[in-house]
């Protein structure tokens, strides 16, 4: 029996799973931040090792039992990153392994042909694509200064800013002015304002993104317009990837949606703008909600390397396992 290790390393967690060649999950493990850009190389490797060790221990396996280990990592963006990551991961005791961007992991998890476009929108955002001849490209992933205009951190800042502008009569009236301070535990917007003025280095909490969605659900126009803006940004990111790849030769383009904002938020204002923006330039596409945890994209890439066919039975197993909480 061959055993496959898949690792998904992101900004909030590192998740490792081990399956056998029939797709049965043998072990899994979870640890902290798996992005070397955020926590440094040493801490990154410690977190990878921790998640892997948990999976091996649960499965009663040794590292030598792993036929192939595939890593899908946030922060695997440029050749410089790959040099750093390959040097670090080579210290792990696996003979056969590979590393790709977590975006490419998402394409494999959502597209049976391992081609198409992936839109990632969680705490941050990026977009990537892959054609049938193996050409890949990535758009975004480096923050607002480098062109990004989506992701939970961006939305939290936009919502916070809109609340302040409304309070000061510089912007339209919005429920965010009352909802954000109340739900974060402040007496009013002025108390919130003064706290963040006195603590300029403190980031607006991700929870504000959730408040933004709740305000939009109540029909708040300012909140809805922020989410429409994010939908437009994600749409033009998808269009960018398609153009930079040179198109998909008339094929229906799979566009896989990954990340909490797209998989859990599902706000109609955001989605309608996303679809409209893509449709303006691409008539033949399909939005795909990722059904399995992204880590199984790494598992599938490893199975490809071992020439193991992932039939519907295996794919359904991966979907049924759910996330790292399961």
Q: What is the mean pLDDT of each run of 10 residues along the chain (326 residues)?
A: 95 93 97 91 95 97 97 92 96 96 94 94 91 94 93 96 98 98 98 97 94 97 98 98 94 92 85 96 94 96 97 96 76
Place of tokens 């790292």: 324
Give the total number of structural domains in the chain: 2
Q: Give the range of the structural domain holding residue 14, as residue numbers without chain letter.
A: 3-95+292-320
The token pair that represents 315 in the structure block: 């794919």
For residues 88 and 18, membership in a common domain is answered with: yes
**Helix H or strand E encompassing 136:** strand 136-139
pTM of the model: 0.90
Q: What is the pLDDT of residue 277?
A: 98
Asked whether residue 101 is domain-assigned, the answer is no
For residues 272 and 191, membership in a common domain is answered with: yes
C-beta of residue 258 within 8 angstroms of C-beta of residue 110 = yes
Domain of residue 47, CATH code: 3.30.420.40
C-beta of residue 141 within 8 angstroms of C-beta of residue 126 = yes
Supply angle C-alpha 52, 76, 51, rounded to 5. Answer: 10
The token pair that represents 282 in the structure block: 């691409």
Asked whether residue 203 is domain-assigned, the answer is yes
For residues 119 and 206, membership in a common domain is answered with: yes
């Amino acid at each position: 029996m061959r055993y496959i290790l898949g690792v998904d390393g992101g900004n909030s967690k590192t998740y490792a799973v081990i399956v056998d060649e029939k797709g049965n999950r043998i072990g899994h493990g979870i640890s902290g931040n798996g992005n070397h850009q955020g926590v440094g190389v040493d801490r990154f490797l410690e977190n990878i090792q921790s998640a892997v060790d948990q999976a091996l221990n649960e499965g009663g396996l040794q590292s030598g039992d792993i036929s192939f280990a595939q890593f899908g990592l946030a922060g695997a963006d440029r050749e410089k990153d790959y040099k750093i990551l390959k040097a670090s991961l080579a210290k792990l005791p696996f003979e056969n392994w590979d590393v790709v961007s977590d975006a490419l992991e998402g394409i494999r998890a959502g597209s049976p042909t391992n081609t198409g476009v992936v839109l990632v929108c969680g705490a941050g955002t990026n977009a990537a694509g892959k054609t049938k001849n193996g050409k890949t490209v990535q758009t975004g992933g480096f923050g607002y200064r480098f062109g990004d205009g989506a992701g939970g951190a961006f939305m939290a800042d936009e919502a916070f800013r809109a609340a302040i502008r409304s309070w000061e009569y510089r912007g339209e009236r919005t429920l965010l002015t009352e909802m954000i301070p109340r739900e974060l535990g402040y007496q009013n917007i002025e108390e919130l304002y003064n706290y963040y003025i006195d603590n300029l280095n403190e980031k607006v909490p991700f929870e504000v993104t959730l408040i933004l969605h709740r305000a939009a659900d109540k029909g708040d126009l300012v909140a809805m317009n922020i989410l429409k803006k994010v939908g437009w940004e994600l749409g033009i990111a998808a269009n960018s990837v398609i153009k930079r790849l040179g198109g998909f030769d008339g094929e229906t383009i799979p566009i896989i949606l990954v990340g909490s904002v797209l998989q859990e938020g599902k706000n109609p204002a955001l989605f309608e703008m996303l679809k409209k923006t893509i449709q303006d330039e691409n008539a033949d596409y399909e939005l795909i909600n990722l059904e399995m945890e992204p880590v199984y994209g790494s598992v599938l890439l490893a199975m490809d390397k071992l020439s193991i066919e992932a039939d519907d039975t295996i794919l359904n197993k991966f979907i049924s396992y759910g996330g790292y909480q399961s």
